[in-house]
């Protein structure tokens, strides 16, 4: 009886202002999927799976909003163990799809564990930061958070699924920021990310343009340390010697700089270099070409840049009101690849026009604003961090997906939540939405 009264109390305090824009996104997404996938041979199968995922997602949302979100904090260690198990399990027993060993094929549907791992990681990291309390600004907290996230990211990269790993980076930074982490520590993380990104980009440039390596000793040296070998080891030792000499020189000049002023930058450089080498070993050829195509759109107009070029044509041809459902030439004639998944925003731009794209963006902004509002009203710090992390995840999804459709960001294979076709993504996103709804419903509750 008590459980029933608690459940009814939860539903009486639901934030319908957050749910309504999600319903609008689901409606627009379903219309776009029905239209975009209509020329495909497996059209009936796509529709069946989509509506089946909608039904499962509704159940996941009800489950998320009905169960007290604090159970995830109480069972955080179990949740972390399950995350490691499913991520290792998919590497051992998963099916390979398009070069990614990231799927479990079940009797009626396929499941991508990394989708679930992202939300679980938010719940786990929120618990860790909450329990650190006043120590959240310490270096130990930063290292502990790095260890928690790093193990999951490493497993995701081994699939390899760079888009899923990419989403975790801004989510972690957002959670650390709202938890009160020192700005210096955030700067350390950003510096680390910058080192990894710059080195991976330079290595990609050198590998795809051998003439640069042949004409430059610096480029040849950079390529030589792109793998774990003796040259890399000698480089790390040499850098250590340089740092030590700089520290001794500072003491001789009576600058009296603490030793960690020299040790921390060296540590960041070493970890960043080793991480970049690990990342470089798992990057696929097509991913390198995507990055180069982003830097130079004219590089391969009929190959690597074809997706983005067709998306821009689709969005630009939609005008104010669009060409109408089932009337988009780019989508209906098959010029736009991945039109019902990653590039669904381009389909909406072509068939629903500027009005349709602005409706999608407006609904997203309203949804994100209500998620931030739920975080502000949370009755405890854990709920505040959970809502902030999930809002950051959806915000980054939106930024990357729309950005790649407009050609302002590299193609990353990240779907548009609640709009793109994708069973695992839809179910997990609706479950995450339900968790936020539960946090909001308990803002004034004490049971």
Quick: pLDDT tens for 378-398: 989 999 999 999 999 999 999
1, exposed or middle or buried, with CB in 10 Å at 0-12, 13-18, 19+? exposed
The pairing of beta strand 100-105 with beta strand 110-111: antiparallel
Question: Beta-carbon neighbour count of residue 414 at 10 Å?
Answer: 23
Q: Is residue 15 part of a domain?
A: no
Q: What is the pLDDT of residue 26?
A: 95
Query: Encoding tokens for residue 415?
Result: 């779907």
Q: Is residue 69 part of a domain?
A: yes
Q: Is residue 291 part of a domain?
A: yes
Q: What is the pLDDT of residue 1?
A: 45
Q: What is the pLDDT of residue 446?
A: 45
Residues with Cβ within 8 Å of 102's Cβ and at least 6 positions away in sequence, in order, are 90, 94, 112, 113, 114, 159, 161, 164
Question: Beta-carbon neighbour count of residue 306 at 10 Å?
Answer: 15
Q: Closest Cα partner for 121 from 161, 155, 158?
A: 155
Q: Which residue has the tokens 């790093």?
A: 150
Report the C-alpha dihedral over residues 61, 66, 72, 75, rounded to 10 degrees. -120
CA angle 122, 97, 297 (to 5 degrees): 85
Give the C-alpha separation, 398 to 402, whole Å. 6
CA angle 107, 415, 161 (to 5 degrees): 70
Give the C-alpha separation, 373 to 39, whole Å. 42
Q: What is the pLDDT of residue 289?
A: 73
Q: What is the pLDDT of residue 123?
A: 95
Residues with Cβ within 8 Å of 184's Cβ and at least 6 positions away in sequence, in order, are none
Number of independent structural domains in the chain: 1
Q: What is the pLDDT of residue 297?
A: 64
Q: Is residue 362 part of a domain?
A: yes
What is the pTM assigned to this prediction? 0.87
Q: What is the pLDDT of residue 5?
A: 52
Please identify every stretch of the chain with a pLDDT value under 50, giving residue numbers as ranges: 1-3, 446-447
Give the C-alpha separation, 24 to 20, whole Å. 6
Q: Is residue 11 part of a domain?
A: no
Q: Is residue 186 part of a domain?
A: yes
Query: Encoding tokens for residue 380?
Result: 């405890």
Query: Encoding tokens for residue 55?
Result: 């039904």
Residue 72's domain spans which residues? 24-441
Q: What is the pLDDT of residue 302?
A: 62
Q: Is residue 446 part of a domain?
A: no
Q: Is residue 226 part of a domain?
A: yes
Q: Which residue has the tokens 């250590």?
A: 240
């Amino acid at each position: 009886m008590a459980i029933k009264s608690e459940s009814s109390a939860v539903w009486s305090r639901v934030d319908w202002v957050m749910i309504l824009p999600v319903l609008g996104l689901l409606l627009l997404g379903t219309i776009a999927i029905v239209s975009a996938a209509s020329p495909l041979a497996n059209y009936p199968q796509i529709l069946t799976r989509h509506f089946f995922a909608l039904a499962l997602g509704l159940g996941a949302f009800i489950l998320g909003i009905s169960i007290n979100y604090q159970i995830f904090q109480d069972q955080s260690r179990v949740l972390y163990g399950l995350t490691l198990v499913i991520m290792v399990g998919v590497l051992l027993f998963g099916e390979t799809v398009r070069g990614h060993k990231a799927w479990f094929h079940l009797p009626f549907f396929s499941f991508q564990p990394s989708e679930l791992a992202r939300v679980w990681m938010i719940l786990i990291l929120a618990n860790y930061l909450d329990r650190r309390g006043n120590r959240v600004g310490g270096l130990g907290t930063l290292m502990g958070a790095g260890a928690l996230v790093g193990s999951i990211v490493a497993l995701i990269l081994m699939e390899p699924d760079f888009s899923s790993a990419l989403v975790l980076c801004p989510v972690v930074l957002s959670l650390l920021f709202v938890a009160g982490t020192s700005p210096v520590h955030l700067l350390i993380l950003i510096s680390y990310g910058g080192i990894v990104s710059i080195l991976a980009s330079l290595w990609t440039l050198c590998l795809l343009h051998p003439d640069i390596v042949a004409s430059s000793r610096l480029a040849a040296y950079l390529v030589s340390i792109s793998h774990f070998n003796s040259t890399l080891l000698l480089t790390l030792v040499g850098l250590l010697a340089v740092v030590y000499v700089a520290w001794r020189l500072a003491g001789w000049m009576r600058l009296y700089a603490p030793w960690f002023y020299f040790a921390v930058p060296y540590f960041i450089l070493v970890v960043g270099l080793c991480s970049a080498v690990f990342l470089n070993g798992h990057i696929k050829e097509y991913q390198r070409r995507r990055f180069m195509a982003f830097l130079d759109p004219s590089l391969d107009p009929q190959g690597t840049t074809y997706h983005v070029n067709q998306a821009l044509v689709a969005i630009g041809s939609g005008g104010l009101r669009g060409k109408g459902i089932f009337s988009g030439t780019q989508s209906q004639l098959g010029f736009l690849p991945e039109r019902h998944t990653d590039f669904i925003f381009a389909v909406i731009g072509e068939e629903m026009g500027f009005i349709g794209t602005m409706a999608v963006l407006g609904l997203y902004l309203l949804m994100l604003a209500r998620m931030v509002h739920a975080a502000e009203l949370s009755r405890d710090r854990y709920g505040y961090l959970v809502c902030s992390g999930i809002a950051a995840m959806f915000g980054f999804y939106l930024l990357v997906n729309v950005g790649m459709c407009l050609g302002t960001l590299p193609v990353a294979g990240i779907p548009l939540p609640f709009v793109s076709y994708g069973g695992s993504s839809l179910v997990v996103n609706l479950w995450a939405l339900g968790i936020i709804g539960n946090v909001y419903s308990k803002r004034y509750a004490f049971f």
